[in-house]
Amino acid sequence: MADGIRDKVAIIGMGCSRFGERWDCGPPELMLEAWSEARADAGIEPEQLGAAWLGVFYQEQSTGKSGLPLSQALRLPNVPVTRVENLCATGTEALRGAAYAVAAGACDVALAMGVEKLKDTGYAGLPERAKGSFEDLWQPSATPPGSFAQLATAYARKFGRDMDEVRRAMAHISKKSHDNGLHNEKAHLRRAITEEDVLGAPMVAYPLGVLDCCGVSDGAACAIVTTPEHARALGHTDFITIKAMQLAPSNGWEQGSSEWDGAHTITTQRAAQRAYAEAGISDPLRELDLIEVHDCFSITELVLMEDLGLSGPGRAVDDVLDGRYDRDGILPCQPDGGLKCFGHPVGASGLRMVYEIYTQLLGRAGQRQLDTPALGLTHNLGGVPNRNVASVSIFGLNGG
C-alpha cells in the first residue's frame, strides 16, 4: 500500500520573477530571473541538478515545445528536462514531476520551472487558438471569463441566491486580493480598489465585470527540491516539505450529465479529499494557516471555498462577506494577491502559489507576513468548470 508523498520531499529554494506585462523580456529572461533567485536561495549550481521539469501551457504562442527552452535559457549541462502541460495546473505538474523524482530516489536534486509569456499576442486576454478538432465542430467558441461566468448563474440558481448578493461577495473577493497585492512588489496589479469599483466595472461576461477577472501576465517561478535528508546534508535547516500533492481531472461527467449542478468543481472536491487524507488533515479550516487558490475569476474563488470544504454548501457568500478569507480572517486566502493581482502566467501560476506558501512559512514575506503560519495549501483549476484539471497541494514547515 502506497503511503503517499508526505514529508518525503523538501523545497530548499524558490524563485519568482516579477509578474506583469513584461514588454522588456521574453521567456528565457523570465526563467533566468526566477532561477537566479532560487539558485542563490538553495545554494545549488546547475551541475547539481539531476533532472528538471518545465511547465508551459501555450507553447506555440509563448515559449516553445519540449524541454529545450529551459535547458537553453539556463545553459544547463545537458540535464534531463521534461516539459509538462496540464492546463492551469501546469506549474504544479512540473513540481509534481520533480518531487516524484527525488522521492523515488532517481536523483538528489531536481528543478521545477513554470513559465508563460502571454503578452506577445497583441491583444488582451488569453490567446485564441485555431479551430480544427471534433469539438470545435459543435462547442461554443467560449472565452475563459464566459466559461467561468457559468458558475455564477448556476450557483445563484441552485442556492436561490439573488445575483446582486452573489456579486457583492465576488466584489469583496476582488477587493481583498487587491488589498493584499498592494504589499507584493512582484505583483502585476498593485492598486487598491473598492467593492463599488468592481460592481461598476465594464461587463466582460455576465455577471463578471473586468475587475472580477485576474491579470493576464508574463512570468516565471521555480522550485528546487530534494529529500529532507539530502537537504540537511547540504546544510539546510530552513526549508518546507510537501505534505500532499493530489490531482483530479474531469472524466466528461460534468460536461455531459445534467446531474452536475454547474455550481461547483467536482475535481477540486476530489483532489481536496485526497490531499487532506494524504496530509493527515481533518479540519482544514482550522488546521490550515493560509491558502492560495485558483482565483482566475472572483466567482471561482467563491465556489472553491465550498469545494475545498472550507465553507458549507451555499454558505460561501456569507463567509466571504463576513471576512473569513480576508488577510485578518480565520483563513487568509491569496495573501500575495492571488491570480487576481499577482497575475496569471499560466505555466508559472502553480509554482507562484507555492512560492508564497514557502515565503510565508519561512517568515520572509515582509509587509504581508502572516503570524507564524505552519501549513499552507495551493490549488489550481485548469480548464473550465465543466471540464478541468484540479490540483490540491499542501506544504508544511520542516518537520512540522
Partner 1 sequence: MTDAVGWARGRVRPGQGTRSFAHWDEDSLTLAVEAGRGIDSDAPAPARLLLASTSLPFADRSNAGIVREALGLPASTRLLESGGSRRAATSALIESLESGVSTLLCASDCVDAQPGSEGETELGHGAAAVLVGEGPGLAEALAWSTRSSDFVDRYRQADRRFDYRLEARWTRDAGIRRPLKALIGEVLESAGIQAGDVSYCLAGLPASVTRVVAKDAGLEDADLLADVEAEVGLCGAAQPLLLLDRALTRAGAGQLILLIGAGQGFDVILLRATGAARRESRPARVRVEPNYTRYLGLRRLMEIDGGLRAERDNRSAQSAAARRHEELHGFLGGRCSACGKLQFPRSELCLHCRAAGTQELEPMADLPGEVNSFTEDWLAWTPRPPLIFGNVHFPDGANVMLEFTDFEAGELAAGDAVRMAFRIKDFDDRRGFRRYFWKPAPAETDHG
Catalytic residues: 88, 344
Q: Of these, 196, 233, 253, 323, which contacts partner 1 (CB under 8 A)?
A: 253
Q: Of these, 159, 230, 260, 327, which contacts partner 1 (CB under 8 A)?
A: 260
Q: Of these, 258, 328, 367, 399, which contacts partner 1 (CB under 8 A)?
A: 258
Q: Single out the residue of 121, 114, 98 nearest to residue 56, CA to CA.
A: 114
149 binds partner 1 (CB under 8 A): yes
Max CA separation in the chain (angstroms): 59
Show Cβ contacts of residue 43 under 8 Å, excluding neighbours closer than 6 positions: 13, 234, 235
344-365: burial string, b at 16+ Cβ within 10 Å, e else: bbbbbbbbbbbbbbbbbbbeeb
The least distance separating partner 1 from the CB of residue 381, rounded to whole angstroms, comes to 16
133 binds partner 1 (CB under 8 A): yes
Distance from C-alpha of 342 to C-alpha of 351, rounded to nearest angstrom: 12
- Rounded to the nearest 5 degrees, what angle is found at the Cα of 129, between the Cα atoms of 128 and 134? 130
Region 68-127 residues binding partner 1, contact defined as CB under 8 A:
122-123, 125
61 binds partner 1 (CB under 8 A): no
β-strand pairing of 208-209 with 110-116: unpaired
The least distance separating partner 1 from the CB of residue 262, rounded to whole angstroms, comes to 4
Distance from C-alpha of 137 to C-alpha of 121, rounded to nearest angstrom: 25
143 binds partner 1 (CB under 8 A): yes
Place of cell 509569456: 117
21 binds partner 1 (CB under 8 A): no
CB closer to partner 1, 201 vs 285:
201
The least distance separating partner 1 from the CB of residue 12, rounded to whole angstroms, comes to 41
User: For partner 1, how many residues bind (rule: CB under 8 A)?
Assistant: 49
Of the ranges 20-28, 187-195, 202-210, 371-379, which one interacts with partner 1 (CB under 8 A)? Answer: 202-210
Q: Single out the residue of 52, 112, 93 nearest to residue 76, CA to CA.
A: 52
Residues in contact with partner 1 by the rule CB under 8 A: 122-123, 125, 128-134, 136-143, 145-147, 149-154, 156-157, 203-208, 251-263, 386
